Structure 1
Amino acid sequence: MTALYWQLAVVSTVLLAGIFLSRRAALLAAIGWTIWTFLKVRYPKLMVIQGGLAWGAYLGVVVYQNMHGAVAEADNRAKALAAQLAQVAASERLVASAVQHPPSGSWTVIDGKQHRAALFKAFSDARTVLCIASGWLGSAAADQQFLVELKNALRRGVDVYLAYGWQTSAGTHETSRVTDIALSELREIARSSDASRGELHVGCYANHEKLVIVDDYLIVGSFNWLSNRQVTNNERSVRIDDPAFASKEAQRLKRLVAQDRVL
């Protein structure tokens, strides 16, 4: 009966170590019980049984943690898919709104390398708000000219909202050195001692929208405003001059940035 109690102690300590601490703790517990068994137990058959129980319990911990990890990964994938579907739905609502209630103003097509000029014009046009959404953020696009225009807009009292964060099907956004450099520059501007009247907000979430929104108009299309500078691929966007429509979209983007703000 005493042997049974010891065997229960072996199994329970290894399992509890794995469940409440870590796989490494369970491994150490299994190793410790194995050493203790060979030093204290005098019967070979009992040694094999007790050692087998220790390592069987450790194997159970490994299986449990692998299953738990698979469930967590599936949950993350489901959340990422839900976020992407929500974004698709938001884009569909944007299109539907434009179809059902056509903007009262004019439409202007922006092509190829015109996008960078349109971006800097938006910086200078903005009076109270400027929103820029892109799949990615990089220092190539957020270059010195971009940063100068950003500082000038903030000094004029413009609130600037930047959004990025395209995610894979696993629900992850893979950052790179160019993203880190851009974020570092933006942080420096945000905490600058310059007497800026406007505020800088940066959000990272499951985003694939490409938008520029200022007070009186918005630009929607294919161009990644915060990561593309060379414009080597075919890019096309439309500027929609409609203050009410622009304001509505700006409010939506502000909420998204606020929910996942990184700066």
Structure 2
Amino acid sequence: MNILHVLILALIEGLTEFLPVSSTGHLVVASAIMGIGKDEFVKLFEIVIQLGAILAVVVLYFKRFFRSFDFYVKLVIGVIPAVIFGVLLKKKIDILLESPLVVAFAFVIGGVILLFVDKWFNKPTINEEKQISHMTALKIGLFQCLAMVPGVSRSGATIVGGMAQKLSRKAAAEFSFFLAVPTMFGATLKDLYDFHKHNQLSADVLHQDIKFLVIGSLVAFIVALAAIKSFITYLEQKGFKLFGIYRILAGIVIIVLYYSSNVLHTV
């Protein structure tokens, strides 16, 4: 992995983390295309830079994180399902993360859902986070578990889950962003611990690892700042149809590449 790889992956992460297109799926495919998919550090890098993008939420919605104690209660409730299923299914998830083909089929299936989600859930009654009940937060958290399959999209799953619970598109998107903070923070800390527990690195290599993680997180953070604002504006005005079309086309392209060449067989 070199600095060019770092910048490309961080740019992809910042652009896609909050879109319903699966940042993890894009990172898996991009890593495979660049021939670095088997690198253990790359897998760690892809998790850590997600935290960089997530921190953009804290900056943009800073005041919301200090509005009430109940806000944090909802986040804790919402993240519990991901913690439980993440611990129980970690080995299987790690295997799935190595498969561009899994990403492709998840892209297509998720894309079809996004084509119709605006029609399915078009009568929202919840327009703000403070109207979300604890039970609703738990149900949205269960939807988030679907994103353990690469290509499903964490933001997409939680936004659709929120809309299924009568949240408006904006409210569902914002709660999805908020829920990402504890989810990705916990995942990052655990993966950092596991990586350095099982990899004895020299001082020089460790220094380079830290440098790549810092640069990647910073780039993802800056790009995500712009992506969040743009996404919310577009979502309110246009909905999900374009994202559905994109996912379907991207999934088909990945499947074609997978079966017609060796480009995506490097993971």
Relative to the length of structure 1, the TM-score reads: 0.24
Larger strand share, 1 or 2 = 1
Relative to the length of structure 2, the TM-score reads: 0.24
Larger Rg: 1
Larger helix share, 1 or 2 = 2
